[in-house]
Copies of this chain bind each other. A is one copy, B any other.
Amino acid sequence: MSARLEAQFAFLNEADRLKSVMRATTLCDGSRRENSGEHSWHLALYALVLADQAAPGVDISRVIRMLLIHDLVEIDVGDVPIHSADGKAHSSTSVQEAESRAADRIFGLLPDDLAQDLRALWDEFEAAETPDAVFAKSLDRVQPVIANLQSGGGTWIEYNVTAEQLESRVGVKIAKGAPRLWDWVREKTRGYFR
């Protein structure tokens, strides 16, 4: 009992460090960059509020759980901005291997049963093949687009992003899990890419 709680809190206290991992995207008011802890909260709220955009059969409670843990590996690896390194850093083998080692370490802090459950959930998110993971990824991709729209261009300006790059790096993945959502958001982005 006590050893179990020690392990549960070793994980929860380590997770606290995600609040100090900074992303490229700013808050909607542009006042500062967003951290990955508050980003994870916002995404879980996206799932709750945009559940009607998911394909039939998507389990929103599982999507929310996935989004709560999806960025924990950034405690070791940092956030890799989607538009950095000409849009290639995010899917590089070296980043994926580092994230896998981070997952070993961080989920490994938990009692075995929880470690296995949450690691499997993170692996499912990363693989982006199940309907739940595909929808979770769509939300993870759409939230920075909305932040950029709200803050007047944000990382699109910083990284010189074109409409074609937005479509190929971001839009395609939003559309995969939430096609009507991307149709609606794409329209809003047009003003920034003329």
For chain A, which range describes its interface: under 10, 10 to 19, 20 to 34, or 35 or more residues?
Answer: 35 or more
- Complex contacts, A181 vs chain B, CB 8 Å: 5
Measured in the bound complex, the distance between the Cα atoms of B35 and A4 in whole Å is 29
- Complex contacts, A61 vs chain B, CB 8 Å: 61, 64
Bits for A150-194, please: 1 = Cβ < 8 Å to B, else 0. 100000000000000000000000000000110010000000000
Contact partner of A31 (CB less than 8 A), chosen from B2, B20, B41, B52, is B20
B29 near A45: Cβ-Cβ < 8 Å: no
The distance from the CB of A131 to the nearest CB of chain B, in whole angstroms, is 17
A44 near B20: Cβ-Cβ < 8 Å: no
- Complex contacts, A20 vs chain B, CB 8 Å: 27, 29, 31
A19 near B27: Cβ-Cβ < 8 Å: yes
Copies of chain A in the complex: 2
Q: Which of A10-18, A74-82, A85-93 contacts B (4 or more CB under 8 A)?
A: A10-18
Q: A1-B180, A19-B38 are in contact. Are A45 and B68 (CB under 8 A)?
A: yes
- The reply on A69 being an interface residue by CB < 8 A is yes
24 contacts across the A-B interface (CB closer than 8 A): A4-B52, A5-B181, A8-B49, A11-B49, A12-B42, A12-B49, A12-B50, A12-B146, A13-B28, A13-B150, A16-B29, A16-B42, A17-B29, A19-B27, A20-B27, A20-B29, A37-B38, A37-B41, A38-B38, A44-B64, A45-B69, A61-B64, A64-B64, A64-B65
